[in-house]
Amino acid sequence: MFKVSKTKFKDLLIFEGEIHKDKRGYLRELIVEKNVKKRFKFQIISKSKKNVLRGFHFQYKHQQSKLITVIKGKVLDCVIDLRKNSRTFGKIFSIILSENNCKSLYVPRGFAHAYFSIQKMNVIYYKLSNYYDPKFEDGICYSDKDVNAKWPKTKLIVSKKDKLLGSFQNFKIKHKGL
- Taking alpha carbons only, the member of 127, 118, 117 closest to residue 55 is 117
Q: Give the residue ranges of DSSP H helices in 12-118.
A: none
Give the dihedral of Cα atoms 86, 169, 178, 57; nearest 10 deg: -110
Q: Which of 106, 113, 115, 126 is catalytic?
A: 126
- Taking alpha carbons only, the member of 5, 8, 12 closest to residue 110 is 12
Residue 126 is a catalytic residue:
yes
Q: What is the 3-state secondary structure (H, E, C) of 134-174?
A: HHHEEEECCCCCCCCCCCCCCCCEECHHHHCCECHHHHHHH
Q: Please tell me the distance from the alpha carbon of residue 95 to that of residue 32, in angstroms, as a whole number.
A: 20
Q: Please tell me the distance from the alpha carbon of residue 8 to that of residue 86, in angstroms, as a whole number.
A: 11
Q: Which of 57, 106, 113, 115 is catalytic?
A: 57
Active site residue ranges: 57, 126
